[in-house]
Amino acid sequence: MTQTTEALVLALIAAVMAVPAFFIFNKMPEAWLQDYDFDPNAENVRLSKRLKPFHIAIFAVVYAVLVFVSSYFYPDFMSFSKLMRVVALLLLLPGFTVIVMSDVLNRIIPDHIIILNIALSALYFVTDFVNGNIWIEASKSWYYFIINRLLGALIGAGILFLIGFLSSVIAKTEAMGMGDVKLLFLCGLLTGVRGLIAVVFIAFISAAFFAVPLLIRKRLRIAAEEKAIRESPDPALARKKLLKKKREMHFADDPDYLAFGPFLVLGTVLFLLYEPFFLDLFQRYVSPIISNV
């Protein structure tokens, strides 16, 4: 099998791995896609949004392209010769798809799917011993591989929890959901300590591209609302109605909310697929700084 053919086959398999997410997501109990205090009998209850076929088509194309590029340019890293690594990655994709779309559509990251992918992350621990870890010398003791991933999980979740806590104290409102903290725990397990740096960097940079337009849109909307209130025959009543409308709005429909989970998943998938690229960057730009400290 030629390098191009193998890359195409792996890309096709990756595209197919998006399909199970459609059935998993749409068969999940309603409570899994709702906040913990969800009451199905409550007044004005908002049922969760579900996946459409075009969502899966988008993920299939994205996965196919990403895996093809990885396999084509890094055949010694992502190929059938490294079967355990390939299997570990592919099995994670349905769960990652559910996590991304659940956060986008319903502002919830289901604990059950996080737990599923944490269980599957055990395959990456096995991969370290079967296919090797390009970040750690093979001569190192076995516990180096385990500590690397456990520290990545604990540091990632701990830092994000601290950021969320401090942001909530300053902003007087929840700034980071616990779902994101649990997700970054999973990401750290998959990437290890140094990989976590790449994941967080990619997540925050990519999120900024969406956050800035979102902030501008928020400012424009607030200005339009204030103008409408001023021009209203009864400004006090108009403001009261606006505030009531905002209080009754479900948190998942908040136009100012930016789901962070998809960006963490993006960073993790990119790292897992292009570890040789990130290793090269680390050795070129980070290692010299560390060695001179």
Name the residue range of residue 142's domain: 3-292
CA distance 56 to 145: 34
Tell me which residue of 56, 74, 72, 70 sits closest to 16, measured CA to CA: 56
pLDDT in tens, 22-31: 999 999 999 9
pLDDT at 176: 61
pLDDT at 230: 87
User: pLDDT tier at 285 (50, 70, 90 boundaries)?
Assistant: confident
For residue 277, give both structure tokens: 């690229």
Instruction: For the chain, give the percent of residues with pLDDT over 90.
Output: 65
User: pLDDT tier at 292 (50, 70, 90 boundaries)?
Assistant: low
User: pLDDT tier at 254 (50, 70, 90 boundaries)?
Assistant: confident
User: pLDDT tier at 142 (50, 70, 90 boundaries)?
Assistant: confident
- String of b and e for 33-45 (b: at least 16 CB within 10 Å)? bbeeeeeeeeeee
| Averaged confidence pLDDT in the chain | 90
The amino acid present at 91, given as its one-letter code, is L
This prediction's pTM: 0.91
Domain count, the chain: 1
* pLDDT for residue 175 is more than 60: no
pLDDT in tens, 185-215: 999 999 999 999 999 999 999 999 999 999 9
pLDDT in tens, 38-89: 888 877 788 899 999 999 999 999 999 999 999 999 999 999 999 999 999 9
- String of b and e for 154-172 (b: at least 16 CB within 10 Å)? ebbbeebbeebeeeeeeee
pLDDT at 252: 79
